[in-house]
Amino acid sequence: MDAFFAQAEQASKPSLRGKAVVVGGLGPRGVVATASYEARVFGVHSAMPMAQARRLAPNAAYLTPRGGFYRSISEQVMGLLRELSPLVEPLSLDEAFVDLEAGGAAWDSASARLAGERLRADIRGVTGLTGSVGLAASKMLAKIASEQAKPNGLVLIEPGTERALLAPMSVRTLPGIGPATGDHLRRAGITTVEEIVEAGEDELVRLLGKAHGHGVYAMALARDDRPVVAEREAKSVSVEDTYDVDIHDRLRIGMEVQRLADRCVRRLRGAGLSGRTIVLKVRRYDFSTLTRSETLRGPTDDVAVVREAAARLLEGVDTTGGVRLLGVGVSGLADYTQEDLFALVAQAEAEALEGAGVDDGAEGSEGEGDVPPGVRDAEVAERRWHPGHDVRHAEYGPGWVQGSGLGRVTVRFETPWSEPGRVRTFRVDDPDLEVGEPLPLVRPEVEPGAASVGGVCG
């Protein structure tokens, strides 16, 4: 998919089409997740600190991610891929390898190109978004081709042309060569793939070590026999938060760890998994990172067990000076759970709380701890209006948050199928304004006799 998160936001917000859009964490320590191609003109790119992005593109629209919305689109795209072949290897929400030959969708260059064009059309028809397709005889070359095809294109690397194509490219084009390795090769006078081949395998081994050197040399010769693997086994499930201001209070740190444990278990259960090893990650004020782990007697997905283990791990960590990041993870995964009385009791307690309408802080509230109700309600009311997120007003209908602060929230009322909408401002506690659900990017078919509202914006 092309600039996936940003493109999805532009497609759902007519007023942002053709404009610079940046999606990511908006706090002082936030980073860019995706930048639209219009924002990239200013030098904004993924993984860049958000503060730097704002300096480069001060007039761009800065939005917080809508994870559930992106996942729903990703599921649609992955479904289309699985119609082509049983061998689909997802790399991320917006990228995957597909073995077209295994599904009988392609057997030569002409049929592969036809399958690729049909896939691009299907993605546009189902999701309303554009995707780029790279076609080649190996995973490495298909990845390179897809990058060349962006945005909204298709590139096919014909068999026999691989070496000539790679030769003038930067060494950074090859998978596994990051900034550090690239600089190391540059200092040795190697900047292109062709120069890797000229240097020879022995020199690459001397520069990069045996395993890495052999691997890089093979890729420079366009050798990549890795198969497309349909199911990639997850090794761990984890969540972490970076804080805008270092946390010094030990009690607050403990509550944050408990909140992260809750989120980690929700993700674990959502994947139908359990795990034996609980992992705590702490990045301190001086950027030093500590990792502690504890292995249980059997796999679990019980939130009480994970909470207790994470708390024990925290006891052994010195947080003097403050922490800037906390994380909780579970590894040693299994697709079953060792049931015990503690897990059954915890589940019964959770169901009782839910039935009584009591919020235990595990969902929505983000576990702010023992905050006076009045203060907590006021903070939540203002914090819930995240830029870019969906809302609905009793009178004006669906829209999205442009910004909030000082007790006010600004909303633009428009849909993916309307003209750019009007902007209105409300109190953050306006009873007529509520959190909304994302609308589909492709306009639902209107049944005969039904009324339609708004125009179509191409």
Where in the sequence numbering do the catalytic residues fall? 95
Closest CA to 234 of 334, 303, 344: 334
CA 236 from chain centre, in angstroms, equals 16
Q: Let me know: does 62 contact 20? Beta carbons within 8 Å.
A: no
| Residue partners of 174: CB distance under 8 A and separation at least 6 | 140, 193, 196, 216, 219, 220
Q: At 374, list the tokens.
A: 């009045």
Cis bond upstream, residue 86 (ω within 30)? no
CA gap 265, 269 in Å, rounded:
6
C-alpha dihedral, 175 to 181 to 183 to 189, nearest 10°:
-90
Q: Let me know: does 62 contact 26? Beta carbons within 8 Å.
A: yes
Q: Let me know: does 132 contact 153? Beta carbons within 8 Å.
A: yes
Query: Would you tell me how many other CB atoms lie within 10 Å of the CB of residue 61?
Result: 23
DSSP class of 281: E
Q: Hey, is 388 helix, strand or coil?
A: coil
Q: Let me know: does 214 contact 201? Beta carbons within 8 Å.
A: yes
Residue for token pair 């086994």: 233
| Residue partners of 80: CB distance under 8 A and separation at least 6 | 119, 122, 123, 126
The count of residues in the chain is 458
CA gap 199, 208 in Å, rounded:
13
- The residue type found at 101 is E
Q: At 70, list the tokens.
A: 């992106």
| Residue partners of 315: CB distance under 8 A and separation at least 6 | none
Q: Let me know: does 279 contact 238? Beta carbons within 8 Å.
A: yes
